[in-house]
Copies of this chain bind each other. A is one copy, B any other.
């Protein structure tokens, strides 16, 4: 496990924990490591999850199959990233997605109950571990909630204004930069790129906003009822 300490140190789960302490914790958590060949299943849809997984090397894909067998890729998991943590918290519900090795990879599993239960051998950083774990889940929550607010709007215009408004408020300024290019923004909002560009142009023509590359300015007086 020693060779993966750099990965672990950078991971959100062990953030703020020194290498020495990580070593101790891995023992206290009885961390298990397992290797997978490309295309091997790491988790199968329907499994009941009691361990949290972390990719140490290689990459894994989180995939889902619908009723008709159509596969879709939910996300890619890179080294240092947790997966299945939500289902580990709710072990009574079977997981509804699969995790597959996208390349040969090494995965570390941590028993959820051991993460949760503070060990008797006063392991100083256990609270920190729980806190990091909570932050990881809560962080995802935040991201999802925010995205949902934009996506639940029906028109591109509304989605855009919802997103830009949020970015503006976050930066505390009516002028701000966004971290997406047009295609990424379109993907994020689940709309067509050119339709998005088109809508942006209209909004500028109507003087609801200005933009230049990734810098946007919202006008204080959006025309009455911009929705």
Contacts and interface: CB of A to CB of B under 8 A. Distances in A.
Contacts of A151: 148, 151-152, 190
Interface stretch (A16-24, A101-109, A160-168): A160-168
A175 B176 CA distance: 50
A142 B91 CA distance: 12
Question: How many monomers of this chain does the complex have?
Answer: 2
**Chain A contact residues: helix, strand, loop or mixed:** helix
Nearest to A167: B67
A134 interface: yes
Contact of A162 (B66, B96, B141, B162): B66
B86 A141 contact: yes
Interface string A137-177: 11111101111110111100000011011101110001000
A28 to B, nearest CB: 15
Nearest to A128: B116
A180 interface: no
A4 interface: no
Contacts of A86: 138, 141-142, 145
Contact of A144 (B144, B154, B161, B226): B144
A7 interface: no
Nearest to A66: B165
A209 B158 CA distance: 32
Given A66-B169, A67-B169, A130-B130, A138 B90 contact: yes
Contacts of A74: 149
B68 A191 contact: no
Given A144-B145, A154-B191, A96 B131 contact: no
4 smallest CB-CB distances across A and B, nearest first, come from A89-B138, A67-B165, A66-B165, A144-B144
Interface of A: 64, 66-68, 70, 74, 85-87, 89-90, 93, 96, 116-118, 127, 130-131, 133-135, 137-142, 144-149, 151-154, 161-162, 164-166, 168-170, 174, 190-192, 218, 222, 226-227
